[in-house]
Amino acid sequence: MNDNQVLIDRIDQFLTVQLDELKIHKTGQLVAAMEYTLLNGGKRMRPLLVYATAESTGLNTNVADHIAAAIEMIHAYSLIHDDLPAMDDDDLRRGQATCHIKFNEATAILAADALQALAFECLTATPTSSDVVLRMIKKLSGAAGSIGMVGGQMLDLEAEGQSLDINQLQDIHARKTGALLQACVMMVTDCDETISVDKRNHYEMFAKHFGITYQIIDDILDVTVDTATLGKPAQSDIKNHKSTYPSLLGLTDARLMAAKHVECARTHLNHVPANKRLADLLKHISQRSF
């Protein structure tokens, strides 16, 4: 079993415990719908990024568990909302029916709402100082809210059917995808007040370029890989008339742009300690085929 699988198993177990604690309450199908999405596999890229950063900074893994879980809960809630008929209207996620198809639309919405609330409840139980917890809550709420992920999703919806330029596209994805990925790194650095401003800036810039790379590759895969391999509808961006890196730049130049951001991320990694796991994750997302 490789190191990443050990960490994936760790976060899956931690998430399972969080949900099991809710089962003593009578909430109908709510916890089942939450569990269906949260524990439905996935790459666990965000938790892996949290754990890799924690290894780099020397953060206690028990603290990292809460950060990784909270971010994954926010991510899971966003996937439920993304798939809804009013949003991307998708019926397949990670190789199985989306939450609103498996249950119903109302249950899916409530499950997403509950996952968002559970994320912040999980953070409040982090075994660290109240000052650190407060900083992390502020960071995650900013990354997930109107100036981050949700705001990016709104801009993405408004941009459907429009022809964007590359700067507009990057702004949307910096919020919709990048903000939460950056939070994976910066919430960990928020736990250590001894990290210098210079090193903190290198972590932040690494996370920024990591997020851009992740989105470019995601856009490329959407038009080059089939539905069975992706585990979700292929060419959904085309169906929804969205601008993407390949549609604006072409596949060749989109790949070149991804490579440029990988190199920028690597440059910043050279200025932070214990960066092998972070470097391996960067390599993985840049070379992934699904």
| 106-160 tens-digit pLDDT | 999 999 999 999 999 999 999 999 999 999 999 999 999 999 999 999 999 899 8
Contact 43, 60 (CB under 8 A): no
Q: What is the dihedral of CA 245, 92, 179, 159, to 10 degrees?
A: 50
The pLDDT assigned to 7 comes to 96
**Distance of CA 80 to CAs 28, 83, 197, 286, Å?**
18, 5, 37, 26
| 33-78 tens-digit pLDDT | 999 999 987 889 999 999 999 999 999 999 999 999 999 999 999 9
Contact 211, 177 (CB under 8 A): yes
Q: Walk me through the domains of the chain, giving residue ranges and CATH numbers.
A: 3-287 (1.10.600.10)
Based on its alpha-carbon atoms, the radius of gyration of the chain, rounded to whole angstroms, reads: 18
